[in-house]
Homo-oligomer: A and B are copies of this chain.
Amino acid sequence: MTTETFDGVSVSTKASVYFDGKCVSHAIVLADGTKKSVGVILPATLTFNTGAPEKMECVAGGCEYRLDGSSDWVASGPGDIFSIPGNSKFDIRVGEAYHYICHFG
């Protein structure tokens, strides 16, 4: 069961573009003030740094990720969530597309 829509939110019209467009996201703010983003990662192997802790929830497609300090790549598909500590980093590799919700904190 994946989260197909967020209702009653504020969405930023300008996208955030990372890694020359290999990652594109739009920021949203829920009615209660919670900030999230919805985005997609295209075929690539990338390293992301975190400030706040993040939870990545897959809504379509899939990826493999590797947390900092780990040598294991772990698959993540629709409905799966993985957590990244704050002030850390993770590697992600995508073969087709990884559509995600990023939850902060």
**Residue interface bits A1-29, CB-to-B below 8 A is 1, else 0:** 01111111111111101001110101010
Give the Cβ gap from A22 to chain B, nearest Cβ, in Å. 7
**A40–B59 contact, CB under 8 A?**
no
A97 at interface by CB-CB < 8 Å: yes
A46 at interface by CB-CB < 8 Å: no
State the oligomeric state as a number of copies: 2
Given the known interface contacts A24-B24, A26-B38, A40-B24, the answer about A11 and B17 at a Cβ–Cβ threshold of 8 Å is: no
Cβ-neighbour of A42 out of B5, B9, B21 (below 8 A): B21
| Chain B residue, CB-CB nearest to A2 | B13
Given the known interface contacts A12-B4, A12-B5, A26-B38, the answer about A17 and B97 at a Cβ–Cβ threshold of 8 Å is: yes
